[in-house]
């Protein structure tokens, strides 16, 4: 349906909505059944959560808002006229008609002059005024039990209360409304049933985010609900587990309510729960979180809150809640426990309003009466049966049931049971209903499934409910069944909602149901997903920074929308600059979009609906290269563990995906400020590393060569990088140290030679290469053994291991030459040895320049420079070269020859440190070098602590001993140098004054080679400083430095050594790659001969313009077919890996214990259920046996009576034939689906309320419908006086003048069924219906079939102010030939032609029609004519369609597929059923 279900808001509601702003989560407006909101960060419940405050203590702003808002908008009721009542209070005092004492009235309420002499009338004598009871309620003596409360007038609009709860009390709009009703007095339930009820009710509220609404008092069913919530809260203990339990009670029946009155609000109000002294009143239940106390100005009258509660529940059920991107109307369900007459009225009203009800059997009274007869056909629910049930379940009050009341109850129960789709009986031990939460959700689904609809709207609605509630178990058992076939495209919107709301189980379910990610993930879908990320996500904040930078760059005032190239920019920072952009920037920022309007789905993403994203033509939709990668990245950057795991399981390039996720998470963890989130990210990064290792291990075991291809394969999906490069970027040491990766690196290290060649053989062939032809060196490829010398020579000298050793030999030669020049041959004029040294250094500089500018992937100079300087050894090389060039510059200047030699000596030291990098290839020395590097960091932090003590002691010592030392160099010596040497035992001799020698110092500080003397005595030249103080300072200094700090340094070294030693092998293997990669891509000639290779490269790149060769890199681009086969093989082994992981989890000891414990619990529960079933079966058999005995006794009694009538009589007394009364508690199995034994007449015409009115009909049960059966008169209503008796008499006289069964002027009072009794005082209303229908056809014109039957399309219309569709037609006015509603649909010029069509049609019905408007003296009769268009080219059909298109725009008219679920009036469906039977069509 479109456009006809809009609802105009009242002015007050519009005012509230305008104050609130556009919040679709709580807008009281009619929305479509399904809406996905594009801006979830503004509309989702997270906004409400951020707005929600803790209940207590309330903030000052909250108090001020409540104090000002509540009295202005919420009222109470007060009696303004005291009239003595005939009744007295519990203490015997005189009370008013309202129930309050005289002193409880207002001061001027005793004798108001305007009311003197008048009877007390609540409509006149009770007025509204601002409420004086609201705020926070604290239950004294019960710990920290707190709640919110408010006193409201019984006439308060429901939207005001809803606004109070959602905005001022900070409650999230509910996903489900559970209205619990039943007995208000304490009743006894079976312990097992009580536990099941408590657990199930709380579970459904906690999992779905529901509100539970009860009566709020500490008695009966309200107490049971409160205790269930209390037990759950105590077991969970965290704030997020709080369940919203709202008690709606009558203010006049609340005991100790005076403590709640506070005109300025109670924050908190102290309330005492006193059950002993409450009398006829009730105490509030302490386990409810919110209270709405309804006031009608009276005292002690129960049930006042029911009308307001009904209106509030109805209003809430009309609201729309956004949950996880899905906008659904808030569903409501009624749960019934026990109860009396009021509960029956509540159930009846709920069923009438279309609210599903769950009846808990075994709770007692009304609930058990309905549960006992719910499985019977309606005609079998007789007055006698209800009377029998009432005598069983209402034993104490059965005498109060009059005959008329039993008839009324029977009629209500029949109407309740007739709506079986809205009625669910929860029976303990029933299969599939062991939990109440399942029964509640199944009740909602059953009601939705049986609701009339077009197409599969209700299936969509059920699925949206399941997604909003996150109940995948219900979706599997109730929705994805054989009853409905789901198309994968139908699941795309809910798939997006499940992704956004982080519901991995639903994502997994949708994938199982056939959702293809290649069709689901489009360019616009990804934009939508990133646009709806949680604002608290770190990745979202990084995206906002990128958008802000772009806005500043473009000087735009408007923030740009998120596009995929923005996402790619952030991802490139996380994945590393060695990767290419994952999403290229489009040429035009705003691409053209195709908007396809889809009924009942409005998901706006830049003006297009979400369904339109999936229903585009293939040429217009932009699909991504790898949808699994895109979804995986989106889930990982938000740290959604379970969701990412589900998506990763679908990936094809799984090893690269896992390594990339590990890299992204590690980078995000570095910037994340929250410690817990950082730990979660790091744990997830390690988990993905383990996944990559697990899959690669299986691949390596299966095929080493193909597994090693996976390491070097260029992955187009991940920025043209490789698995090995991703592992190195993420510092995944465990992966790199894997045996398969190390075997690959070893193979690369040895080049084309066999890895088992001894090192001595390599060195021997290096020194004397003719040995290569002797077979000393073995090659992996056998063909190299037989090839020529040049090929074998090239294969040998291009191997990285040979290049490495040749460079070692070259480097040692360089250092020897350097040392020789510095120590032996450093002349003012450079010798030829020194020139050779400079030439050698020039070759090293050229190699560093080559490494800096070598860019085979086209990253650019800036990026290559950043990558180059990230390496520590490259920075050390640059430092050594710069120092050498500085020394060389000074050396060439004669005046700075000596400083030049000093600088060159420092350069030599740095060049020697470079040897450590060479030794990292050694398995023995490499780990030790790593330990030394780690210890250098410890030394740095130690020096910081040591400097504090050295400076503090040095300054103090210098100030005490020396007076005004002005020489800076000697200040540094005294403060830093001497203090530092003291640590190693060089204690100054004069510090204690004993070994002071004035000849070793300068008294005035004039001698540049001696320190200044301490202050001395002028007489004997002895030092006058306090030696005891300097000794104490020295002792303390040595204590802290030599003992404390040095031992701390040793401990730090020891800890570092142990930490590194445990992972030495792993770290060495990780760093080994850098050395292998360096020499794998290095020119084969060592310095200085490497200049020849540089010259060759220069000629090729500059002169010949050839691109850089990529064969020397550790990456390989495969052909498409080879790559596809390799990825398929990888995916197959990934599936094996996941299966093995599941098997290992099952074999885990802890998991086994948990499984055994679960099975024991299930077994115990099944045994308990079996006991219950056996007990019930025995009772059922006994009942059946007693019924058979009773029937046999009746038969024997009839036989004896017949014999007596024929003269056969006995002389003695006739013994009793059996018990005259059978067992009252017969049970019926709910599992069997009963069929109505006979058709029920006048079902709609016997509703208890006339349509559109509050006037009640006379209750007529099914068995009282036939005229032959005598009616029962309700004694309480038969004798009421008619105040308008004379007017009624006049109306009857005028009705007697009507001519019945004939033409009365223009009015035809003849019935289609013949003569009728005039005593009915009325007649039928004639009507006409035109059933226009045609065959449903495909695009090619063929008729569509279903279940081997042809499918019909019927013409239906929806009139203004109506939510239900109808067949065209209506009542005939006197003198008219066509109904007015039919004329409304058709143009005037088509009326005669349509009359001809009706004459040519087939009459399918003529006569009485069951209608809610039928009364005892007026009814509806109709003629239904079937007009069938057999051909799609029918001229009359085309003409009809043309006139329909020009009909009134306020009407909705359409051709609808004929189905029993289409939302039509019930009597219209019967007409269509006759048509389908007539044409043998599908129905």
| Residue pLDDT, tens place only, 1359-1403 | 766 767 778 777 777 766 677 677 667 766 667 777 777 777 788
Per-chain mean pLDDT for the chain:
77
Q: What is the pLDDT of residue 322?
A: 73
d(CA 344, CA 363): 14
Whether residue 529 is predicted with pLDDT greater than 70 in this model: the reply is yes
The backbone torsions φ and ψ at residue 334, rounded to the nearest 5 degrees and listed phi first, read -110, 125
In which band, very low, low, confident or very high, does the pLDDT at 203 lie, cut at 50, 70 and 90? confident
At 51 the pLDDT is 38
Distance between CA 34 and CA 322 in Å, rounded? 10
Two tokens, residue 534: 């949680």
Q: With CA atoms as reference, report the closest residue to 825 among 843, 841, 813, 837.
A: 837
Reading the block at residue 500, the tokens are 């956004």
Largest CA distance in the chain: 166
* DSSP code at position 255: T
CB atoms within 10 A of CB 778: 14
d(CA 486, CA 481): 9
1295 falls in which pLDDT band (50, 70, 90)?
Answer: low
Q: Are 1275 and 404 within 8 A, CB to CB?
A: yes
- 627 contacts 517 by C-beta, under 8 angstroms: yes
| Tens digits of residue pLDDT in 863-908 | 778 878 888 888 899 999 999 999 999 998 988 999 999 999 999 9
Cα–Cα distance between 713 and 1124 in angstroms, integer?
Answer: 12
- How far, in Å, CA of 1328 to CA of 1336, rounded? 25
Q: Give the lowest-confidence range in 117-121, 211-215, 698-702, 962-966.
A: 117-121
Nearest to 911 by CA among 956, 871, 879, 868: 879
pLDDT band at residue 623 using 50, 70 and 90 as cut-offs:
low
- Would you call 1317 exposed, middle or buried from its count of C-beta atoms within 10 A (0-12, 13-18, 19+)? exposed
Taking the CA of residue 792 as centre, how many other CA atoms within 13 Å lie in the half-sphere pointing to its CB?
21
Instruction: Give pLDDT tens digits for 397-448.
Output: 888 888 888 888 888 898 898 888 889 888 876 544 557 888 888 888 877 7
pLDDT of 640 higher than 70: yes
* 588-598 as b/e: b if 16+ CB within 10 A: eeeeeeeeeeb
Is 90 exceeded by the pLDDT of residue 361? Answer: no
Find out whether the peptide bond into 57 is cis, omega within 30 degrees of 0: yes
The answer to whether the Cα torsion of 1381, 1386, 1392, 1393 is positive or negative is negative
Q: What is the per-residue pLDDT for 828?
A: 87
**What pLDDT digit, counting tens, does each position of 362-389 carry?**
888 899 999 989 888 888 888 888 888 8
| Predicted local confidence at residue 1135, as pLDDT | 92
Q: Other C-beta atoms within 10 Å of 648: how many?
A: 22
- Cis amide bond preceding 975, omega within 30: no
Look-up: residue for tokens 């239906």? Answer: 1356
Which whole number is the average pLDDT over 594-611? 32
| Residue 451 CB-density burial (10 A; 0-12 exposed, 13-18 middle, 19+ buried) | middle
Count CA within 13 A, CB hemisphere, residue 415: 26
* Residue 1129: count of CB within 10 angstroms of its CB: 16
Look at residues 277, 201, 205, 215 and name the one whose alpha carbon lies nearest to residue 243: 205
Give the residue with greater pLDDT, 1392 vs 760: 760
Q: State which H helix or E strand residue 819 sits in.
A: helix 800-823
- Number of residues assigned to the chain: 1483
Taking only Cα atoms into account, the Rg of the chain, rounded to an integer number of angstroms, comes to 46
1448 pLDDT higher than 70: no
Structural contact between residues 915 and 811, judged by C-beta atoms closer than 8 angstroms: yes
Please state the rounded mean pLDDT for residues 833-857: 87
What CA–CA distance (Å, rounded) separates 161 from 290?
12
pLDDT for position 454: 53
Q: What is the band of 1042 on the pLDDT scale with cuts at 50, 70, 90?
A: confident
- H/E stretch holding 372: helix 365-373
Average pLDDT in the 1043-1057 region? 84
Phi-psi region of 1369 (alpha: psi -120 to 50; beta: other; left: phi over 0): left
Least confident of 79-88, 686-695, 1157-1166: 1157-1166
Q: Using CA atoms, how far apart are residues 1373 and 1388, in angstroms rounded to an integer?
A: 17
Share of the chain above pLDDT 90, in %: 17
Say yes or no to pLDDT of 987 above 70.
yes
pLDDT of residue 613: 43
Maximum average pLDDT range among 247-261, 744-758, 1192-1206, 1346-1360? 247-261
The 8-class DSSP code of residue 1388 comes to G
719: left (phi over 0), alpha (psi -120 to 50) or beta: left
pLDDT for the residue numbered 1400: 74
Instruction: Give CA–CA dist 1483/1479, Å, rounded.
Output: 11
Average pLDDT over residues 784-812: 81
What is each CA distance from 982 to 973, 1044, 1045, in whole angstroms? 12, 15, 14
Determine the pLDDT at residue 788: 61
Q: pLDDT tens across 105-160, in order?
A: 877 666 655 555 567 788 888 889 999 899 999 888 766 678 899 999 999 999 99
Residues 6+ positions from 1448 with CB-CB distance below 8 Å: 1384, 1385
Give the CA angle between residues 290, 294, 295 to the nearest 5°.
140
């Amino acid at each position: 349906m479109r456009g006809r279900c809009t609802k105009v808001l009242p002015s007050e509601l519009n005012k509230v909505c305008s104050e609130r702003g556009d919040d679709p989560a709580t807008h009281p407006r009619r929305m479509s059944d399904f809406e996905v909101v594009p801006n979830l960060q503004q509309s989702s419940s997270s906004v409400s959560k951020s707005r929600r405050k803790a209940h207590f203590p309330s903030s000052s702003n909250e108090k001020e808002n409540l104090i000002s808002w509540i009295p202005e908008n919420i009222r109470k009721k007060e009696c303004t006229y005291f009239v003595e009542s005939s009744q007295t209070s519990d203490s015997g005092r005189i009370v008013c008609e309202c129930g309050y004492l005289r002193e409880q009235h207002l001061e001027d309420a005793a004798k108001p002059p305007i009311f003197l002499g008048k009877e007390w009338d609540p409509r006149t004598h009770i007025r509204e005024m601002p409420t004086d009871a609201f705020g926070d309620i604290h239950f004294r003596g019960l710990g920290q039990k707190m709640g919110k409360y408010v006193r409201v007038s019984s006439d308060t609009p429901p939207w005001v209360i809803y606004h109070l709860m959602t905005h001022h009390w900070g409650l999230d709009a509910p996903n489900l409304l559970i209205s619990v009703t039943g007995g208000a007095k304490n009743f006894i339930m079976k312990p097992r049933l009580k536990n099941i009820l408590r657990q199930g009710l709380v579970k459904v509220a906690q999992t779905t985010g529901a509100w539970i609404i009860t009566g709020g008092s500490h008695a009966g069913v309200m107490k049971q609900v409160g205790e269930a919530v209390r037990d759950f809260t105590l077991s969970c203990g965290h704030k997020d587990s709080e369940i919203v339990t709202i008690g709606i009670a009558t203010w006049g029946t609340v005991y100790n309510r005076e403590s709640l009155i506070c005109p300025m609000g109670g924050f908190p109000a102290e309330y005492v729960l006193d059950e002993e002294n409450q009398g006829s009143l009730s105490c509030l239940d302490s386990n409810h979180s919110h209270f709405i106390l309804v006031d009608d100005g009276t005292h002690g009258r129960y049930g006042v809150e029911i009308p307001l509660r009904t209106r509030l529940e109805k209003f809430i059920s009309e609201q729309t809640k956004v949950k996880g991107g899905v906008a659904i109307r808030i569903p409501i369900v009624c749960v019934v426990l026990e109860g009396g007459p009021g509960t029956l009225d509540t159930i009846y009203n709920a069923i009438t309003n279309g609210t599903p009800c769950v009846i808990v059997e075994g709770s007692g009274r009304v609930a058990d009466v309905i549960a006992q007869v719910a499985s019977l056909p309606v005609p079998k629910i007789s007055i006698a049966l209800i009377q029998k049930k009432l005598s069983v379940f209402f034993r104490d009050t059965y005498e109060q049931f009059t005959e008329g009341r039993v008839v009324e109850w029977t009629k209500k129960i029949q109407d309740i049971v007739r709506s079986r789709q809205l009625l669910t009986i929860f029976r303990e031990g029933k299969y599939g209903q062991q939990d109440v939460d399942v029964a509640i959700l199944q009740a909602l689904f059953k009601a939705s499934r049986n609701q009339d609809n077009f197409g599969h709207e209700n299936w969509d609605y059920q699925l949206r409910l399941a997604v909003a509630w996150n109940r995948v178990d219900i979706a599997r058992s109730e929705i994805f069944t054989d009853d409905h076939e789901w198309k994968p495209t139908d699941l795309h919107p809910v798939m997006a909602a499940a992704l956004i709301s982080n519901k991995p189980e639903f994502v997994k379910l949708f994938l199982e149901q056939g959702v293809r990610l290649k069709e689901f993930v489009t360019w616009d879908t990804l934009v939508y997903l990133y646009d709806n990320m949680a604002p608290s996500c770190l990745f979202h904040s990084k995206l906002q920074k990128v958008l802000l930078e772009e806005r500043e760059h473009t000087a735009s005032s408007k923030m740009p929308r998120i596009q995929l190239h923005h996402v790619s920019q952030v991802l490139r920072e996380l994945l590393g600059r060695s990767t290419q952009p994952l999403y290229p920037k489009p040429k035009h920022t705003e691409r053209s979009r195709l908007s396809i309007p889809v009924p009942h789905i409005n998901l706006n993403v830049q003006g297009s609906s979400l369904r339109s994203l999936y229903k585009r033509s293939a040429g217009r939709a932009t699909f991504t290269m790898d949808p699994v990668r895109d979804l995986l990245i989106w889930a990982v950057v938000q740290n959604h563990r379970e969701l990412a795991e589900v998506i990763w399981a679908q990936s094809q390039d799984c090893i690269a995906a896992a390594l990339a996720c590990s890299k992204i998470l590690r980078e995000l963890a570095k910037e994340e400020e929250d410690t817990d989130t950082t730990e979660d990210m790091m744990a997830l990064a390690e988990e993905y590393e383990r996944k990559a290792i697990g899959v690669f291990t299986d691949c390596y075991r299966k095929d080493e060569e193909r597994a090693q291809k996976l390491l070097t394969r260029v992955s187009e999906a991940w920025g043209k990088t490789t698995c090995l490069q991703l592992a190195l970027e993420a510092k995944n040491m465990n992966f790199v140290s894997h045996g398969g990766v190390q075997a690959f690196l070893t193979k690369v290290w040895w080049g084309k030679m066999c890895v088992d060649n001894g090192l001595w053989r390599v060195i021997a062939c290096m020194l004397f290469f003719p040995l290569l032809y002797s077979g000393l060196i073995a090659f992996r490829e056998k063909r190299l053994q037989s090839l020529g010398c040049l090929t074998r020579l090239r294969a040998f000298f291009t191997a990285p291991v040979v290049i490495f050793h040749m460079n070692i030999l070259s480097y040692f030669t360089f250092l020897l030459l350097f040392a020789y020049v510095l120590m032996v041959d450093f002349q003012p004029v450079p010798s030829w040895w020194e020139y050779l040294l400079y030439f050698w250094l020039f070759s090293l500089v050229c190699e560093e320049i080559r490494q800096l500018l070598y860019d085979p992937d086209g990253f650019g100079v800036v990026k290559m420079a950043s990558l180059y300087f990230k390496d520590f050894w490259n920075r050390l090389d640059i430092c050594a070269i710069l120092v050498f060039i500085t020394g060389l510059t000074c050396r060439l200047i004669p005046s700075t020859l000596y400083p030049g030699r000093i600088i060159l000596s420092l350069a030599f030291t740095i060049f020697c440190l470079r040897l450590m990098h060479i030794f990292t290839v050694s398995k023995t020395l490499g780990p030790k070098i790593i330990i030394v590097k780690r210890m250098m960091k410890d030394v740095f932090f130690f020096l910081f602590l040591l400097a504090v003590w050295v400076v503090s002691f040095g300054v103090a010592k210098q100030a005490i001993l020396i007076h005004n030392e002005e020489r800076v160099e000697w200040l540094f010596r005294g403060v830093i140098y001497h203090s530092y040497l003291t640590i190693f035992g060089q204690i100054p001799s004069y510090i204690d004054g004993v070994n002071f020698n004035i000849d070793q110092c300068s008294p005035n500080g004039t001698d540049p080679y001696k320190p200044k003397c301490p202050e001395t005595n002028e007489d004997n030249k002895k030092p006058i400083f306090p030696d005891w103080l300097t000794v104490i300072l020295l002792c303390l200094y040595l204590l802290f430095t030599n003992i404390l700090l040095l031992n701390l340094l040793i401990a730090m070294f020891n800890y570092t050594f142990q930490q590194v030693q445990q992972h030495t092998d792993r770290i060495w293997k990780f760093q080994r790659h850098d050395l292998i990669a360096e020499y794998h891509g290095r020119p084969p000639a060592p310095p200085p001969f490497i200049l020849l290779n540089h010259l060759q490269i220069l000629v090729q790149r500059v002169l010949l313009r050839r691109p850089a060769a990529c064969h020397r890199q550790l990456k390989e681009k495969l052909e498409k077919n080879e790559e596809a086969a390799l990825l398929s093989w990888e995916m197959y082994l990934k599936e094996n890996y996941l299966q093995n992981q599941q098997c290992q989890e099952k074999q885990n000891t802890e998991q086994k214990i948990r499984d055994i414990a679960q099975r024991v619990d299930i077994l115990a529960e099944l045994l308990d259920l079996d006991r219950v079933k056996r007990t019930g079966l025995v009772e059922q058999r006994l009942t059946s046996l007693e019924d058979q005995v009773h029937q046999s006794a009746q038969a024997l009694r009839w036989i004896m009576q017949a014999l007596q009538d024929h003269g056969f009589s006995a002389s003695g007394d006739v013994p009793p034939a059996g018990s005259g009364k059978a067992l009252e508690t017969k049970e019926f199995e709910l599992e069997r689906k009963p069929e109505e034994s006979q058709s029920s007449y006048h079902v709609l015409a016997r509703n208890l309320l006339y349509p559109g009115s509050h006037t009640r009909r006379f209750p007529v049960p099914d068995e009282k419908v036939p005229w032959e059966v005598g009616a029962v008169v309700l004694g309480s209503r038969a004798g009421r006086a008619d105040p308008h008796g004379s007017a009624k008499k006049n109306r009857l006289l005028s009705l007697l003048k009507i001519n019945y069964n004939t033409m009365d002027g223009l009015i035809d009072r003849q019935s289609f069924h013949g003569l009728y009794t005039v005593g009915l005082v009325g007649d039928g209303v004639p009507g006409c219906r035109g059933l226009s229908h045609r065959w449903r056809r495909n695009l090619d014109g063929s008729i569509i079939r279903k279940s081997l039957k042809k499918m019909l399309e019927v013409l239906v219309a929806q009139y203004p102010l109506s939510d239900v569709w109808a067949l065209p037609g209506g009542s005939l006015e006197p003198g008219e030939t066509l109904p007015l509603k039919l004329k409304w649909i058709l143009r005037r010029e088509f009326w005669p032609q349509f009359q001809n069509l009706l004459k040519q049609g087939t009459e399918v019905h003529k006569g009485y029609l069951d209608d809610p408007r039928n009364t005892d003296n007026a009814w509806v009769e109709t003629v239904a004519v079937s007009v069938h268009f057999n051909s799609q080219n029918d001229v009359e059909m085309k003409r009809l369609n043309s006139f329909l298109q020009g009909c009134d725009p306020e009407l909705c008219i359409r051709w609808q597929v004929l189905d029993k679920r289409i939302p039509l009036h019930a009597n219209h469906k019967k007409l269509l059923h006759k048509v389908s039977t007539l044409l043998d069509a599908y129905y």
